[in-house]
Structure 1
């Protein structure tokens, strides 16, 4: 759960229409109209990325009169489907994948199962990626890919970073190349698989 308590106000006299705020918004809630930044307050997460990156200091964060809670509810969803999606993404359902907002993998999986098809849509529904906005793009993309969704990088967004391979993604060629240097990828994978199986047995 994330509580949105702030929103950005744009000083139109200072705004030069450089589009920096538009590009750094993790939920694409800012766009240019007549070469000025306009904020979609309904989707704004109050992360202050626009304020922090504006070279003209034309944006000020102010308190909302009424805060807004962002959360994807897991009630009514097939718990097995949520767990299965997390497992396919190589994530534990209860694992926190965004420490800034304390968003767990299961909530992002629920948002994907409910129709979110991009990191921006996931962020609007769960709050993930609206803190530091750096590391949590990877688990979000992994969950989307596990659901068979390969989103297109937005033309005007900066907040995407490439996926880091997991032990399950390493090719046989790379394994052979580094085996002589003391890397034990297959053993690591067996250990991680065993930990997952042990956790599943414990919960039965």
Structure 2
């Protein structure tokens, strides 16, 4: 479990309703209504994106009266299903995929298996992508894709970045072009496959 201790607070006198805050919120916790930003306290995960990006300085982070606890219990899902989803996404279940918040692949997989179908829903449940909000979008998209979820970025949003190629996605043309320059794509993939496949032999949790 993780504790959210901060909450976005809007100064209506400074807010111009520009919607920048809407576009950068990873959990869709802030909306502009009648030309003023409104924060849903139950959804806000305290990432401070809105505060940092507001061009008018209309948002500040304040301490919550009571910390909000979030997280997905991996024991609430069949762990074999978690492993299978992670392996399909070429991720080790115990691999940390969000260093800012400390979220592992297994927790994101559990969230997806429990019904999360978008990065926003995954972030809301696990807290992932509420730190730097940049690096961990990739493994989230990989896990969602592996689960068969359709990936449709919210119109106007800024926080989705297309999936980058992995060792399993590189074309033969790219491999051939760079193999003579000291890159060992096939060898790298074999090592990664061994690491990920190792989780199947580690036994159930």
TM-score under structure 2 length normalisation: 0.94
C-alpha spacing 1:199/1:105, structure 2 compared with 1 (3 Å): closer
Shift of residue 149 of structure 1? 1.0
Q: Which residue of 2 aligns with 1:133?
A: 133
Deviation digits for residues 109-164 of structure 1 (CA, Å, limit 9, x no counterpart): 00000110100000000000001111000000010001011221011321112222
Conserved 8 A contact 1:28-1:157: no
What pairs with 1:99-178 in structure 2 (closer than 5 Å)? Answer: 99-178=99-178
Deviation digits for residues 51-88 of structure 1 (CA, Å, limit 9, x no counterpart): 11111111121111111111011223111000010011
Q: Which residue of 2 aligns with 1:44?
A: 44
For 2:133 and 2:198, the matched residues in 1 are separated by: 33
For 1:129 and 1:5, the matched residues in 2 are separated by: 16
For 1:76 and 1:135, the matched residues in 2 are separated by: 27
C-alpha spacing 1:197/1:86, structure 2 compared with 1 (3 Å): closer
Q: How many residues align?
A: 204
C-alpha spacing 1:75/1:176, structure 2 compared with 1 (3 Å): same
C-alpha spacing 1:67/1:115, structure 2 compared with 1 (3 Å): same
C-alpha spacing 1:56/1:181, structure 2 compared with 1 (3 Å): same
Question: Is 1:30 paired with 2:41?
Answer: no
For 1:198 and 1:160, the matched residues in 2 are separated by: 31
Shift of residue 202 of structure 1? 4.9
- Secondary structure of residue in 1 paired with 2:75: coil
Shift of residue 199 of structure 1? 4.9
Greater alpha carbon shift after TM alignment, 101-110 vs 57-66: 57-66
Deviation digits for residues 17-63 of structure 1 (CA, Å, limit 9, x no counterpart): 11111111111111110111011111110111111111111112111
Q: Which residue of 2 aligns with 1:82?
A: 82
What pairs with 1:63-74 in structure 2 (closer than 5 Å)? Answer: 63-74=63-74
Greater alpha carbon shift after TM alignment, 50-59 vs 104-113: 50-59
Greater alpha carbon shift after TM alignment, 46-55 vs 185-194: 185-194
Q: Which residue of 2 aligns with 1:7?
A: 7
Conserved 8 A contact 1:26-1:157: no
Conserved 8 A contact 2:50-2:59: yes
C-alpha spacing 1:198/1:47, structure 2 compared with 1 (3 Å): closer
For 1:163 and 1:115, the matched residues in 2 are separated by: 22
Structure 1: give runs of 5+ residues left out of the alignment.
none
